[in-house]
Copies of this chain bind each other. A is one copy, B any other.
Amino acid sequence: MNDPIGELIALLSRLPGIGERTATRLAFYLLEADEELSKALGGSLSTLHRDVQRCEECGNFTSGERCAICLDSRRDASLLCVVARVPDLVAIERSGAFRGRYQVLHGLLSPLDDIHPEHLPFDQLVERVERDGVREIVVATPLTVNGEATALYLGELFEGKDVEISRIASGMPHGGELEFTDQITLSRAISGRRKV
A49 at the interface (CB under 8 A from B): yes
Determine if B8 and A85 form an interchain contact, defined as CB atoms under 8 angstroms apart. Answer: no
Give the number of residues in A that approach B within 8 Å (Cβ atoms).
47
Q: Which residues of B contact A106 (CB under 8 A)?
A: 32
**Which chain A residues (1-34) contact chain B, with CB distance < 8 Å?**
1-5, 7-8, 11-12, 14-18, 22, 24-26, 28-32
Determine if A45 and B41 form an interchain contact, defined as CB atoms under 8 angstroms apart. Answer: yes
With A25-B87, A37-B14 as contacts: A30 and B45 at CB distance below 8 Å: yes
A29 vs B49: C-alpha distance in the bound complex, in angstroms?
12
Determine if A22 and B28 form an interchain contact, defined as CB atoms under 8 angstroms apart. Answer: no
Q: Which residues of B contact A32 (CB under 8 A)?
A: 85-86, 106
Copies of this chain: 2
Q: 22 A-B Cβ contacts within 8 A? A: A4-B47, A4-B51, A5-B61, A8-B41, A8-B44, A11-B41, A11-B44, A16-B25, A16-B29, A24-B87, A28-B86, A28-B87, A28-B90, A31-B48, A31-B52, A31-B86, A32-B85, A35-B49, A38-B46, A41-B42, A42-B43, A42-B47
Known: A8-B45, A16-B26, A16-B29. 9 other contacts (CB 8 A): A4-B47, A4-B51, A4-B63, A5-B61, A15-B29, A17-B22, A28-B87, A38-B45, A41-B45
